Structure 1
Amino acid sequence: MNQPSLRQLIDAGEGIVKADRIIRGGQLVNVCTGEIYPADVAITGDRIAATGDVAAYEGPDTEIVDATGKYLTPGLIDGHLHLECSKLSVTMFADAVVRYGTTSVISGLDQFLVVAGLDGVREALREADASPMKIFWGAPFKTPYTLPETTVGFSFGPEEHAETQEWAECFGVWETVAEFVLNRDEKVLRALELAHRNRLPIFGCAPMAAPTTINALAAAGVRLDHESYTAEEALMKLRAGMSLLIRESSVAHFMNENVRTVTEFGAQSRRVGFCTDDMHVADILREGHLDKLVRMAIKAGVRPVEAIQMATLNCAEMYRIDHLVGSLTPGRYADVLIVDSPESFQVERVFARGELVAEGGRTLNAPQAPERSAALSPAFQVAPVTADGVGVRAEGDSADVLVVEMDRTVPFVRKGVPMTLPVVDGTVRADTDRDALYVTVSERYGKNDGATVTAMINGFGLRSGAIASSAAPDDNNIICVGADRTDIALAVNHLSEHGGGQVVVENGEIKEFLPLPVAGIVSDLAPEEMAAAEDRLEAAARALGCELPSAFGFLIFLEITAIPEYAITDLGVVNYHTQDVVDILAPAAG
């Protein structure tokens, strides 16, 4: 991010340099004091020069923006976001959310990192600088996040922390998964010690955390957390001194539960912020982004000014970026929203870095994606998959198998159920009548010979065909669920041969295919095109029998090992509690 000199900021603040633009006639929502009052906003360059009576800042060339009868708020901040999970590039994701008032996000860009390394992260940060959306980057606590470690394109550890924590773009340590702290992982502890030495905040990830876990994380210096499954858990974290991010994503809906910390339990709202974590573009275009969360909080009983604070200053303060964003005050980036009222919070115009970038729910300039380097175009190195290569080897006519069982409401939660399944020609077979399907993970980086492993899964409901994705945190190997082994082989091979994407296959035919050519995980499609593609993919998955809220929303998270009970990675089925690969032919229900 470009930084004006201190002299330039002082000159602008004193009015020696006249404002480029003045927003006049609005009611200013002052998130620092909780007041709403008439005030104009003077903008010089990309920063706010003054608010209130700004007549002294007006010059002969100053543009006047009329906001009579409207309200002025800071741009909204998404406190924890894997923007790659939108399947949009940085440029296109910015186009999708800026129109709804999101002008800043905090992200580890961890999916770019595991595929394309530090060069990929640098490229994404440069891309953000050319967009109307700022990325405040946190260096991931390590990669891969998985326990035990899975295969990724780039591993990130203490040596990389020593380098990147010195970057001007680094604002903390991202997504510190609780288990690595509890395990006293030496590499992770060294990264956190570096952060303490560099006075960088540590961002946590502690779902379903016990009180002792919360205490240990607080003692380690974890400043905030975005993974609370109940309001009681959220309140424990607040009481332990952490700040709380309430998550409302496309697949994890926790706003109404966790906002109870404020509306029912009486916790002060100033240490509570918002995040979306993972969003489908179709949902953004239908419902909005952070502006939706503001409206949800107000509907749940939060005062409008407090809800706006949660989406702006609160988040900025917990990340220690409030000197740059989060309030309409001198020296901050001129990210200004003109809204109809604090109560209904409909964003009408958006200024980012001092420029009008969106109006009436549309961005004003067509996004232009940059040229891509080789770092973001790595070849897939998956060994060709055959139908005979899909399956779990077993003896006899049947086998007792530990089948991974999906939670039908939250895709991150997966238990295990024992099932007796047929064995044909030495291979455990799917049973669609009981919704016992194949699930495969194919290693894409060629470090483990591009091998494919198979397990069994319940919950997707496919009666035929297969669905697959190469966008699959935390390692972005190819994940596939299917009822037919031939269709699974076709789906995986198709993604590998075409540089990544998402696909639906049935009876040997490609029903839908969404290419994701940028690192095999995102695309430069316009948001509206991506939303249409998402809808087509989901419709095709439903036609196969899937009744989950989002077939691909549930599919892509199967490789995450940081949440109980089971995950499927390129190593096999992983038990969260033992943090090890389990023998699924010796099942014990989770």
Structure 2
Amino acid sequence: MNYTKKLSHIAQGLEPAPLVLKGAHVLDVGNEMWSIEDIAISDGYIIGVGKYEGLEEIDYTGKYIVPGFIDAHLHLESTLVNPRELVHEASREGTLTYIVDPHEAGNVAGLKGIQYMIDETRDARGDVYVMAPSCVPAVPGEDNGALLDCDTLSELCNNPAILGLGEVMDCYSVIGADADMIGKLNAYKNRVLDGHIIGLSPKQLASYRLAGITTNHECITYEEAKEQVRQGLYVWIREGSAAHNLEAIVTGIVDAESPVDRYGFCTDDKHIEDIRREGHISYNIRKAIELGLNPIETYKMASTYPAQCYGLKDIGMIAPGYKANLVILNDESNVSIYDVIYNGVIIDRHGAYESSRRPVPEELLYTINIGDFKKSQLSLAVDGEHPVINIVPGQIVTAKTIESVPSENGVFTPNSEFNKITCIERYKASGRNGVGVLKGFDIHNGAIATSFAHDSHNLIVVGDNDDDMMIAIERIRNIGGGYVIVRSGTVVGELPLEIMGLITNEPHHTVDKKVADMKEIAYDMGIRRGLDPFINLSFLALTVIPEIRITTKGVVEC
């Protein structure tokens, strides 16, 4: 916003504002109080808060107005659809700013994948800020589709769409002062550096923080969060489709009567059907208030504190010079949304998403290349007790056990308790795949396959028999990536994700219906409700999260 004489006159009440919101309880984040005020708006910015007259006036008497919500960390690819659609849906729920890490696209297609995500969100119904993916691959030596080394990330730093450095997952390269990692950190030393911290001791955390890393979204307990805040980090409290960390952390904050100015909210990964059912950051706010957090502090966690962290000086407050990104609520505590205003304009919260389909770069389409994969590659030799990957309910961490698993002639024979899992290299047709034992997924008489497998996005398949697993693998190849369910020799559900094996240009309502139907099929095949069969499966290859994972090179401890 450029300051002009006209704006000065409007602020002083000497001229009417183009738009005035009248008579609401307005959140004063600086003094932490509500006051009944008018809000004068011009050209998408707040010009004044007080008593104003406008050429257009909207009466919000009895309503509550708060700053637009911020998702402090998310991956748009996890919605499975064009990234503009997530922004469209989440904006209905008051989320108007997004701190996005496109490391899924980066792992598959490098700079071309990242640029695709930037281009697709340029005209989205919200402010999308992009963090440069710091760990592509997640850890050295993984089979993925691209390498973003220090030189490449330094080049990406010059892209005007890039806000800072995305989650630094390779913690041990940081605390081990790896030369390439130091180069990446130094290239972004004047920007915000996002973290990804699991399992570091306090002294290791001190080294990690010393590198300039500012945030973390991986806390599971309040004690973790408290220690990280003590060491100077911002903690983004995550509540997504698979990871549910809010209750434990917020309960700890409430019980300890802890200050919250180093906390915010994020979703990380949340499907659109979940956003439509329960909300986006609005859900995090509502749940935090229900757990006893002060409403004013909760709204600041959803706006003011992450804006301060990322240096976004024109959002997070209702005051002159700030963007008119506002959420109008029916009450203070229930987060019942009446209107949402983005850039000074009331958005249509009930209209369907409409967008012309942009051409997708040819090199981003149908990228599954596994070569001539043979059934014999699914064989797993076992000798007595064997390592088992155990799913932890409600979390994306896993647990390792050593157990006697079913076998015949020294070869693992999966069943509904001990499923077989494989991860297949999908970029260079190397024929490389790892095979392991999975417990807690409980699929019976079938298999599920996906090309959406964090973070390298190789093909990951789980089943209780090799025949169905092979059918799923072949079908994933034919549709260019996505989700496939096979039951008793027949493909009974599929969702093609033809763009990078991650997303589709199909509208979200089509995708939502397919995913919902496929989940019901999966639950009918034995997977317990409360476990997302696709999201939880997608994390089983992520080697930066404890405790044990499957990779193209076999089962590894993390």
TM-score category (smaller protein): over 0.9
Q: Is the counterpart of residue 99 in structure 1 residue 92 in structure 2?
A: yes
* Distance in structure 1 (CA, Å) of the matches to 2:397 and 2:358: 34
Deviation of 1:53 after TM superposition, in Å, equals: 2.6
Q: Is the counterpart of residue 513 in structure 1 residue 494 in structure 2?
A: yes
Partner of 2:23: 25
Moved more, 375-384 or 130-139: 375-384
2:130 to 125, 137, 160: 137
Partner of 2:372: 384
* Distance in structure 2 (CA, Å) of the matches to 1:122 and 1:48: 32
Partner of 2:153: 161
Deviation of 1:478 after TM superposition, in Å, equals: 1.1
The alpha-carbon distance between structure 1 residues 436 and 537, as it changes in their structure 2 partners (threshold 3 A), is: same
Q: Is the counterpart of residue 212 in structure 1 residue 203 in structure 2?
A: yes
Q: Is the counterpart of residue 38 in structure 1 residue 28 in structure 2?
A: no
1:543 to 520, 524, 540: 524
Partner of 1:246: 237
Deviation of 1:126 after TM superposition, in Å, equals: 2.5
Q: Is the counterpart of residue 64 in structure 1 residue 57 in structure 2?
A: yes
Partner of 2:172: 179
Q: Is the counterpart of residue 233 in structure 1 residue 208 in structure 2?
A: no
1:111 to 104, 108, 115: 104
Partner of 2:511: 530
Letter matched to residue 374 of structure 2? T
Partner of 1:402: 387
Partner of 2:412: 428
Partner of 2:398: 413
* Distance in structure 2 (CA, Å) of the matches to 1:517 and 1:450: 22
CA deviation vs aligned residue, 1:118-172 (integer Å, no higher than 9, x gap): 22222222222211122111112221113x5312212112112211222222222
Deviation of 1:531 after TM superposition, in Å, equals: 2.5
The alpha-carbon distance between structure 1 residues 370 and 354, as it changes in their structure 2 partners (threshold 3 A), is: farther
* Distance in structure 1 (CA, Å) of the matches to 2:517 and 2:57: 45
Partner of 1:345: 335
Judge conservation of contact 2:366–2:479 (CA < 8 Å) in 1: no
Aligned pairs (5 A) from 1:558-577: 558-576=540-558
Letter matched to residue 551 of structure 1? P
Letter matched to residue 420 of structure 2? Y
CA deviation vs aligned residue, 1:334-361 (integer Å, no higher than 9, x gap): 21111111211111211122222233xx
Letter matched to residue 463 of structure 1? H
CA deviation vs aligned residue, 1:51-98 (integer Å, no higher than 9, x gap): 32333xx4xxx4333322211111110111112112122111112211
* Distance in structure 2 (CA, Å) of the matches to 1:167 and 1:15: 36
Deviation of 1:365 after TM superposition, in Å, equals: 5.3
Judge conservation of contact 2:415–2:465 (CA < 8 Å) in 1: no
* Distance in structure 2 (CA, Å) of the matches to 1:46 and 1:160: 36
Letter matched to residue 172 of structure 2? E
The alpha-carbon distance between structure 1 residues 357 and 517, as it changes in their structure 2 partners (threshold 3 A), is: farther
Partner of 2:345: 355
* Distance in structure 1 (CA, Å) of the matches to 2:275 and 2:474: 31
Match of 1:551, SS state, is coil
Partner of 1:584: none
* Distance in structure 2 (CA, Å) of the matches to 1:521 and 1:365: 20
Deviation of 1:11 after TM superposition, in Å, equals: 5.3
2:10 to 9, 15, 22: 15
Aligned length: 553
Moved more, 245-254 or 177-186: 177-186
* Distance in structure 2 (CA, Å) of the matches to 1:392 and 1:423: 11
* Distance in structure 1 (CA, Å) of the matches to 2:31 and 2:130: 28
Letter matched to residue 334 of structure 2? S
Judge conservation of contact 1:503–1:514 (CA < 8 Å) in 2: yes
The alpha-carbon distance between structure 1 residues 546 and 370, as it changes in their structure 2 partners (threshold 3 A), is: same
Moved more, 308-317 or 29-38: 29-38
TM-score (norm 1): 0.89
Partner of 1:580: none
* Distance in structure 2 (CA, Å) of the matches to 1:376 and 1:77: 30
Judge conservation of contact 1:381–1:450 (CA < 8 Å) in 2: no
Query: 5+ residue gaps in structure 2?
Result: none
The alpha-carbon distance between structure 1 residues 149 and 65, as it changes in their structure 2 partners (threshold 3 A), is: farther
The alpha-carbon distance between structure 1 residues 480 and 262, as it changes in their structure 2 partners (threshold 3 A), is: same
Judge conservation of contact 2:366–2:481 (CA < 8 Å) in 1: no
Judge conservation of contact 1:495–1:503 (CA < 8 Å) in 2: yes
Letter matched to residue 387 of structure 1? K
TM-score (norm 2): 0.94
Deviation of 1:329 after TM superposition, in Å, equals: 2.5
Query: 5+ residue gaps in structure 1?
Result: 577-590
CA deviation vs aligned residue, 1:468-511 (integer Å, no higher than 9, x gap): 11112101111110111111111112112211110110122111
Match of 1:117, SS state, is helix
